[in-house]
Amino acid sequence: MTDREQSISGLKQVVSWLEANPEFEIADMDILIRCSTKADLTAFVRALPNPVQKYSGGMFFFAKHHFTDTVSLYGGVEHEKVCRRGEKGTRVVPAQEEHEEPVYEWICDDPILAVK
């Protein structure tokens, strides 16, 4: 069984478990699919229905779609696999002697992955 097939089987088991245990409410549910390559994340983004939100968080680039008010599907991959790090300015760092240091952001050149 491939990793993909195992993941789908596991997700079906979660759904069955949720249906079999109605005694608790679900406030919301975020499902994360961790992609391993830029090609996988690009395919994920293309397959999602609109609207797709794209953003950076910590070490990862994410794309997500809200299927309902309570269910969101995320795809994520490490920044360095899809973007390049670029300096966007400087910030003042309080210290013994004030100085400036570079401020970086992740720049995704592929339009399908561009954060707006």
Q: What is the pLDDT of residue 115?
A: 67
User: Which pTM was predicted?
Assistant: 0.72
The mean pLDDT values, 10 residues at a time, for the chain of 116 residues are 94 96 94 94 94 89 95 94 88 79 84 71
* 4 contact partners, CB below 8 Å, separation of at least 6: none
* 17 contact partners, CB below 8 Å, separation of at least 6: none
State whether residue 102 is helix, strand or coil: strand
| Domain boundary assignment for the chain | 3-113
